[in-house]
Amino acid sequence: MQRRGGSGTFFLVPRYFFDTRDGELIRDDIGIVLEGIAAARDEAKRGLADFARDTLPGSVRRELAVEVRDEANLQVLTASLWFEVAGLMA
């Protein structure tokens, strides 16, 4: 996507895709246009928190991840969470 900058110049604004993993990978085919990798990292963290909030209740062990791809289909970052409840015997 192009965005107009100052002085009538154009610059590319990248689209990032946020795939989710909870045992199996679910691919994001739509993506989100963001200002850059820092914004994609922040979105991945928010997405992982939402994903965990929806999937962790009632779980004893879970491995969750949000894997971020760019428009070239290259994985650029991963936000992941390992969750486990372990009982201690007295």
Q: Which of 5-9, 45-49, 53-57 has the highest mean pLDDT?
A: 45-49
User: Nearest-5° angle of CA 5, CA 44, CA 28?
Assistant: 90
Instruction: State residue 8's pLDDT score.
Output: 61
Report whether pLDDT(1) > 90: no
Instruction: State residue 31's pLDDT score.
Output: 97
DSSP state, residue 30: S
* Six-digit token string for 79: 């936000």
What SS3 state is found at 34? Answer: coil
Instruction: State residue 85's pLDDT score.
Output: 87
Rounded to the nearest integer, the mean pLDDT of the chain is 89
Task: Look up the pTM and report it.
Answer: 0.81
